[in-house]
C-alpha cells in the first residue's frame, strides 16, 4: 500500500512534535531552604530540564542576594565536603537534579524583600547565551514540604 504524500507529511509532523516534547530548557520545582542561622548560607535546589541541544549552566545570578555559587557535595575519605562548580552540564532532553547531598546552589545574603515575598527571583545563564528567569520558593528550614 502506498500512502498519499499528504498523509506522510502529516505523520512526519506528528512525529516531529512528539520528539520535541519535553526538550525545553527550563528549571522546575526550584526551592531555597533558608538557613535558620543568620549569616550562614542557604541552599537552593531545582530540576534543570535540558533543551534541544546539550548546554551547560554557567552561572546563576539574583538581584536579591549578596552572593550565589554552584556547589557539589562529595564524599572524600568518609568526609562530606563541598566543591565549587564552574558549570553544570545539562544534556539535551535530560533532567539534572540539584538536590541535597549533590549539586546545589549556595546562597548568601538573601534580601528581606525576597524573604517576605517567599520567592527568590534568579536568572539561570547557559553556555548558549540562553537566560531563564525563575522564581524559587523560599522555605524556612524545618518547614513541612
Ligand atoms: Cu554548598
pLDDT tens, residue by residue, 22-33? 589 999 999 999
Q: All domains of the chain, ordered by start, with CATH?
A: 23-140 (2.60.40.1890)
CA 95 to centroid of ligand 1, rounded, Å: 20
CA 103 to centroid of ligand 1, rounded, Å: 8
| Sequence-ordered strand ranges (E) for the chain | 26-34, 42-49, 55-61, 67-76, 79-85, 88-90, 95-98, 103-108, 119-126, 131-140
Residue 107 grid coordinates? 546562597
| Alpha-carbon torsion angle 123, 43, 31, 64, nearest 10 | -40
Instruction: Classify residue 16 as exposed, middle or buried by CB count within 10 Å of its CB (0-12, 13-18, 19+).
Output: exposed
CA 4 to centroid of ligand 1, rounded, Å: 59
CA 84 to centroid of ligand 1, rounded, Å: 7
pLDDT tens, residue by residue, 81-134? 999 999 999 999 999 999 999 999 999 999 999 999 999 999 999 999 999 999
pTM: 0.81
CA 5 to centroid of ligand 1, rounded, Å: 56
Amino acid at each position: 500500500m502506498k500512502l498519499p504524500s499528504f498523509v506522510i507529511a502529516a505523520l512526519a509532523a506528528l512525529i516531529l512534535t512528539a520528539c520535541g516534547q519535553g526538550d525545553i530548557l527550563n528549571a522546575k520545582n526550584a526551592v531555597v531552604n533558608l538557613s535558620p542561622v543568620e549569616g550562614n548560607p542557604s541552599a537552593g535546589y531545582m530540576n534543570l530540564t535540558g533543551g534541544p541541544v546539550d548546554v551547560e549552566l554557567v552561572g546563576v545570578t539574583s538581584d536579591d542576594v549578596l552572593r550565589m555559587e554552584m556547589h557539589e557535595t562529595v564524599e572524600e575519605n568518609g568526609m562530606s565536603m563541598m566543591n565549587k562548580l564552574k558549570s553544570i552540564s545539562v544534556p539535551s532532553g535530560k533532567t539534572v537534579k540539584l538536590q541535597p547531598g549533590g549539586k546545589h546552589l549556595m546562597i548568601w545574603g538573601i534580601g528581606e524583600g525576597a524573604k517576605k515575598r517567599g520567592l527568590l527571583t534568579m536568572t539561570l545563564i547557559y553556555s548558549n547565551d540562553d537566560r531563564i528567569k525563575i522564581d524559587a520558593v523560599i522555605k524556612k528550614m524545618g518547614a513541612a514540604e
